[in-house]
Chain A
Amino acid sequence: MLESRLLGLIIQMVSAPLALIAELTHRCPLHCVYCSNPLTLENTASELSTEEWMRIFDEAGQVGILHVHFTGGEPLARSDLVKLTARARAAGLYINLITSGIGLSETRLEALTKAGLEHIQLSFQGGQEEPADEIAGARSHSHKLRLARLIRQFNLAFTINVVVHRQNLDHLSAMIAMAEDLAPDRLEIANVQYYGWAFENRDALMPTRQQLERSQATVIDAQERLAGRMRIDYVAPDYYARYPKACMGGWGRRLMLIDPAGQALPCHAARMIPGLTFDNVREHSLQWIWQQSSTFQQFRGEAWMPEPCRSCERRSEDFGGCRCQAWLLTGDAKATDPVCSLAPSHPLVENVVAHANDDLAPTRSESVRLPAAWVYRQNPS
């Protein structure tokens, strides 16, 4: 008798995206070695103006988009963030801020909350200061701890996100203890996925199978212990999965990303796929882009699918996986996502995993310390 269904499940062909991902800027005070931003970043001069973003939020509200996720780079690097928040809220959008927290004072947090901010997702690079700052390429961990306590004093939904990988996965219990102390509503423990800068640092970041199995047990224990107090979500790395993830909930199906320069993309990484042209919100409406842009139609639905996807019963669940991963690993964006165990190109992934489990590649938690050879994320010019 109690009918409630997730909206996404009941909408087959939507007339507008459910959520807008607003990459407000590519500027960022951190230089995380796994940043999912493209290797070629948009510079400050090309960024959309305050007025342009405000028009986009108005349009988004009118066509029925529900959520806007402010991200970047670091959205706090935009000096007009309070103004943008107020306008997006006035347009009826639910406002989520995805942030490193750098640039957030109590005064600014209060202004953002008053302007209509509803959810804040604060990222951590680990549970201990020194290694976390090494991954971030900047001193930031202690600030984040102070900020997390401040956030709890405001009427906001609060998520802590910790990114895990080969160098910190053995310290997962300490990260969960840190989160417990900071008391967010939700803790997201996300394994690095290999795009952008993370792909450049893949060897140093890819966990071992043993690390992953231990981490899964740790998470299950914590989920049981903390049920009702703090929700814990765990995202496993694609490379160890049997089947691919439903990337973005399906290409051009639920989400639209606007990059700092106004290009509309189906996902964070799609710019790397050659041959796609990205329409710009400076020239077209959101609705036109969603319905007419060739890029959003390119991998929408099932017509583009090769075998084994085309006849696979999972095709309506995972939509063939991730197009960017297919392109990165096989050079063909139409290929079945190579992380799928049914994909002809799956040996490519198996080789990477085998290498990560080779005893010759020690983790830093062991006595042999690798030289720091990170490729740090750069800032746009």
Chain B
Amino acid sequence: MTLEMTSRPRLSAGCRWAEANRAERLLLFPEGAIRFEGTGREIVERCDGQHTVEQIVEELRQIYSAGDPARIEEDVKNFLGHLHQKRIVDFQLESRCSSLDSSD
């Protein structure tokens, strides 16, 4: 599935945050773990199946108001594309968001 501005990224099946009592924000997936910091963390924390890519970009622009808006959109899309390749996030489009955690 390709990334659209109306896609709602969410963590893929078998991918979750480590328990909250850890000092750092760790994302666990089948082959390992990634520590997300800074902007990466801001993006991945919004991959909840609720936010659209457009909303994520908008919220990031508010956080990083000094940044170039076009650059922020490009970075967010590249980052999400990269995580999709790693099967850490997948996307659902606006019209298909009702099926809860189906494995497609």
Using an 8 Å CB-CB cutoff, how does the interface string of B1-35 with A read, 1 for contact, 0 for none? Answer: 10000000000111110110010001011101111
Is the CB–CB distance between B30 and A4 below 8 Å? no
Cα-based distance from A231 to B75 in the complex (angstroms)? 23
Is the CB–CB distance between A2 and B15 below 8 Å? no
Is the CB–CB distance between A157 and B30 below 8 Å? yes
Given A1-B75, A185-B87, A155 and B33 touching (CB < 8 A)? no
How many Å from the CB of B65 to the closest CB on chain A?
14
Using an 8 Å CB-CB cutoff, how does the interface string of B78-93 with A read, 1 for contact, 0 for none? Answer: 0100001111000000
Task: List chain B residues, Cβ under 8 A from A228.
Answer: 1, 84-85
Stretch at the interface among A5-13, A200-208, A342-350: A5-13
Query: Is A96 located at the chain interface by the 8 A CB criterion?
Result: yes
How many Å from the CB of A71 to the closest CB on chain B?
14
Interface size on A, residues (CB 8 A): 32
Query: Is B94 located at the chain interface by the 8 A CB criterion?
Result: no
How many Å from the CB of B32 to the closest CB on chain A?
6
Interface size on B, residues (CB 8 A): 32
Is the CB–CB distance between B38 and A157 below 8 Å? no
Is the CB–CB distance between B32 and A6 below 8 Å? yes
Query: Is A159 located at the chain interface by the 8 A CB criterion?
Result: yes
Cα-based distance from A362 to B18 in the complex (angstroms)? 51
Cα-based distance from A86 to B13 in the complex (angstroms)? 18
Query: Is B103 located at the chain interface by the 8 A CB criterion?
Result: yes
Task: List chain B residues, Cβ under 8 A from A10.
Answer: 35
Is the CB–CB distance between A66 and B87 below 8 Å? no
Using an 8 Å CB-CB cutoff, how does the interface string of A222-240 with B read, 1 for contact, 0 for none? Answer: 0000011001000000000
Task: List chain A residues, Cβ under 8 A from B29.
Answer: 157
Chain A: CB-nearest residue to B72: A1
How many Å from the CB of A320 to the closest CB on chain B?
23
How many Å from the CB of A371 to the closest CB on chain B?
40
Give the residues from 78 to 96 in chain A that come closer than 8 angstroms, CB to CB, to chain B. Answer: 92, 94, 96
Is the CB–CB distance between A4 and B84 below 8 Å? no
Query: Is A154 located at the chain interface by the 8 A CB criterion?
Result: yes
Query: Is A355 located at the chain interface by the 8 A CB criterion?
Result: no
Query: Is A67 located at the chain interface by the 8 A CB criterion?
Result: yes
From A3, A119, A152, B39 is in contact (CB under 8 Å) with: A3
Is the CB–CB distance between A66 and B30 below 8 Å? no
Using an 8 Å CB-CB cutoff, how does the interface string of A1-41 with B read, 1 for contact, 0 for none? Answer: 11111111010000000100000000000000000000000
Most buried by B among A8, A153, A155: A155
Is the CB–CB distance between A119 and B30 below 8 Å? yes
Task: List chain A residues, Cβ under 8 A from B12.
Answer: 157, 185
Cα-based distance from A231 to B31 in the complex (angstroms)? 12
From B14, B36, B38, B79, A156 is in contact (CB under 8 Å) with: B14
Query: Is B101 located at the chain interface by the 8 A CB criterion?
Result: yes
Task: List chain B residues, Cβ under 8 A from A94.
Answer: 16, 18, 28, 33
Query: Is A271 located at the chain interface by the 8 A CB criterion?
Result: no
How many Å from the CB of A367 to the closest CB on chain B?
41
Most buried by B among A2, A6, A64, A154: A2
How many Å from the CB of B38 to the closest CB on chain A?
5
Query: Is A186 located at the chain interface by the 8 A CB criterion?
Result: yes
Give the residues from 169 to 194 in chain A that come closer than 8 angstroms, CB to CB, to chain B. Answer: 185-186
Given A119-B14, A152-B103, A4 and B32 touching (CB < 8 A)? no
Task: List chain A residues, Cβ under 8 A from B32.
Answer: 6-8, 67
Q: B residues engaging A (CB < 8 A)?
A: 1, 12-16, 18-19, 22, 26, 28-30, 32-40, 43, 75, 79, 84-87, 101-103
- A to B CB contacts below 8 Å, 26 in the list: A2-B79, A3-B39, A4-B37, A6-B33, A7-B34, A66-B18, A66-B26, A67-B28, A92-B18, A94-B18, A94-B33, A118-B30, A121-B30, A153-B103, A155-B103, A156-B13, A156-B103, A157-B12, A157-B14, A157-B87, A158-B103, A185-B13, A185-B14, A185-B87, A186-B30, A231-B86
**Extra 20 A-B pairs, beta carbons < 8 Å, given A5-B34, A67-B32, A155-B103:** A1-B38, A3-B38, A4-B35, A4-B37, A6-B32, A7-B26, A7-B33, A8-B32, A66-B26, A66-B28, A118-B30, A119-B14, A152-B103, A155-B13, A157-B13, A157-B29, A158-B103, A185-B12, A231-B85, A231-B87
